[in-house]
Homo-oligomer: A and B are copies of this chain.
Amino acid sequence: MTIPSAPEVKKKDETERESESAEQVVTPWEVSAKDGEKIDYYKLIVKFGCQRLDASLIDRVQRLTSRPPHVFLRRGVFFAHRDLTEILDAYERGDKFYLYTGRGPSSEALHLGHLIPFMFTKYLQEAFKVPLVIQLTDDEKCMWKGLTVAESKRLARENAKDIIACGFDVTKTYIFSNFDYMCGAFYQNMVQVGNYVTLNQAMSTFGFSGTDHVGKLSFPAVQAAPSFPSSFPHLFSGMDNLRCLIPCAIDQDPYFRMTRDVAPKLGYSKPALIESSFFPALQGNNKKMSASDPNSAIYVTDTAEDIKNKINKYAYSGGQKSLKEQEELGADLEKDVSVKYLSFFLEDDSELEHIRKEYGKGKMQTRDVKNRLTEVLTEMVERHRRDRAAVTDEMVDAFMAVRPLPSMFE
């Protein structure tokens, strides 16, 4: 993905920015582009007021961590940030930070788009040697999807297994469900955040209306609280100045714009963010995968046969209608979902470049690209399934235990 330089953005109260425009909608609950168009990430950066994650910053990450940058960084999947420069400045001076990410456990099976923040967060944890908290928002799913408390909690544990299967280090990682972990220290931060956001602001930032239930109004503060180290006395006691870095998809930005506005009023640092684009649906680049349409996504529970069929049947092709036309005109790489998917998951830069080149000038057919994608995803999904099968209930208990993380900065 090519992202032009972000222009200077007029400073204003971050929550004051609108989260909707006539052209495209990106909120925590809705992501849609104009018909037939892609999400314009450049416009999102300007609208949300975040910064472009440019090559010099990626080089700096490489230098500070002494390892190649993750493919999601090299390929611009994580493309925007807030205050990452400050986090790296401090890291260079020897100041650590902690990572915070999360998941709303609305379904049993995760799709590939769900894995992206966790794959990337695992890389960050290993590269920077820092602790990580993962919030499972079972309460959110009870509020928005009408799930029972018991069902939300069950899904949270099931999803925790998929997350653990991504390879997190149990000595550095605390996974928690809001329904289970909620405690005084966390609630104190929730209440304090709620004291600085008016109902009008919440309605404008998150699009709440009078017919929404009041529980929803309290949720932004629940998602904000883990940005402050004091929400975790068992981890960060006496470390109130520890900074927080949040890897997430850019649709979560409204929550953290609000959090960043409030943080200094509570005496905390603003959390920094590193934000990804969306993993598109098989049907095209302009939609996010949806858990409600099983054919829009590849699931970690899909068989090799499922994966092959879904790619062959649904993956939107940028190739031409006939072999002859394809040989003459080549494929439209920008619209081709298989090429897009390969850009996320085919790690070999030279092979990806070869495919783009050959397919783009018509020397490769859609079928060939789909076959290669099928191989890559089948291997990836089968590896994930093996890893997930090895995650026991005892391991889930271990990750979710309220405990210190003794080797969290090693």
Q: Which residues of A contact B (CB under 8 A)?
A: 139, 142-143, 146, 149, 178-184, 186-188, 190-200, 202-203, 208-218, 220-221
Residues on the B chain within 8 Å of A217, using CB: 199, 214, 217-218
Residues on the B chain within 8 Å of A183, using CB: 182-183
Closest to A211 in B: B198
Give the distance in Å from the alpha carbon of A217 to the alpha carbon of B203 in the complex.
13
Q: Residue A180 contacts which of B143, B184, B218 (CB distance < 8 angstroms)? A: B184
Q: Are B221 and A215 in contact (CB under 8 A)?
A: yes
Residues on the B chain within 8 Å of A142, using CB: 191-192, 195
Residues on the B chain within 8 Å of A178, using CB: 187
Q: List 20 A-B contacts (CB under 8 A).
A: A143-B191, A143-B195, A146-B195, A149-B188, A149-B191, A178-B187, A179-B187, A181-B184, A183-B183, A187-B187, A194-B215, A196-B213, A197-B213, A198-B210, A198-B213, A198-B214, A199-B208, A200-B211, A214-B217, A215-B218
6 additional A-B pairs beyond A214-B220, A215-B218, beta carbons within 8 Å, are A142-B195, A149-B192, A183-B183, A195-B213, A198-B214, A200-B210
Q: Are A187 and B139 in contact (CB under 8 A)?
A: yes
Number of copies: 2
Give the distance in Å from the alpha carbon of A217 to the alpha carbon of B206 in the complex.
15
Residues on the B chain within 8 Å of A192, using CB: 142, 149
Give the distance in Å from the alpha carbon of A203 to the alpha carbon of B218 in the complex.
15
Main secondary structure on chain A at its contact with chain B?
helix
Give the distance in Å from the alpha carbon of A183 to the alpha carbon of B178 in the complex.
10
Give the distance in Å from the alpha carbon of A361 to the alpha carbon of B77 in the complex.
89
Shortest C-beta distance, A183 to chain B (Å), equals 6
Give the distance in Å from the alpha carbon of A183 to the alpha carbon of B179 in the complex.
8
Q: Are A199 and B209 in contact (CB under 8 A)?
A: yes
Residues on the B chain within 8 Å of A213, using CB: 194-199
Q: Are A214 and B202 in contact (CB under 8 A)?
A: yes
Give the distance in Å from the alpha carbon of A190 to the alpha carbon of B192 in the complex.
17
Q: Residue A188 contacts which of B179, B187, B212 (CB distance < 8 angstroms)? A: B179
Shortest C-beta distance, A338 to chain B (Å), equals 42
Give the distance in Å from the alpha carbon of A192 to the alpha carbon of B203 in the complex.
21
Shortest C-beta distance, A376 to chain B (Å), equals 41
Residues on the B chain within 8 Å of A179, using CB: 184, 187-188, 191
Give the distance in Å from the alpha carbon of A198 to the alpha carbon of B208 in the complex.
11
Give the distance in Å from the alpha carbon of A75 to the alpha carbon of B269 in the complex.
57
Give the distance in Å from the alpha carbon of A325 to the alpha carbon of B151 in the complex.
75
For the complex of A and B, the 4 pairs showing the least CB-CB separation, nearest first, are A194-B215, A218-B218, A182-B187, A200-B210
